[in-house]
Amino acid sequence: MCGICGVIHLDGQPIEPDVLQAMNNALTHRGPDDAGYYINDNVGLAMRRLSIIDVAGSPQPLYNEDESVGVVFNGEIFNFQALRDQLTQAGHQFHTGGDGETIAHLYEDHQVETAHYLRGQFAFAAW
């Protein structure tokens, strides 16, 4: 099982990359295959990946088309292919074949309602 972590400074202070990296390093045992970081001013997300689906093609964080949404994700989205088909028909463009990227595109359209569309076992953080 992968590991995800994140921090948000509600007072607007910028994220210190070293702190986020230290948090993520503590999760190395959760995912030896990859590490990823997303920093946007006062928000930082990180992940450690254990690759299962689209092993080579789904590095995280995952993004929507213009990278205005970043997602770290763990788990499996059972209905991702049907959601992906619907999102593609609506004009979304995917860059990976993995299930997690679906979350970035759903979040772009549905924000806090995103989880209602997903079927599976998962945890994610999006900004």
Active site residues per annotation: 2
DSSP 8-state code for residue 100: T
CB contact set of 22 (below 8 Å; sequence gap of 6+): none
Q: Which residue shows structure tokens 């989880």?
A: 115
Q: 81 in helix, strand or coil? A: helix
How many whole angstroms separate alpha carbon 94 and alpha carbon 29? 29
Q: Cα–Cα–Cα angle for 40, 10, 108, nearest 5°?
A: 45
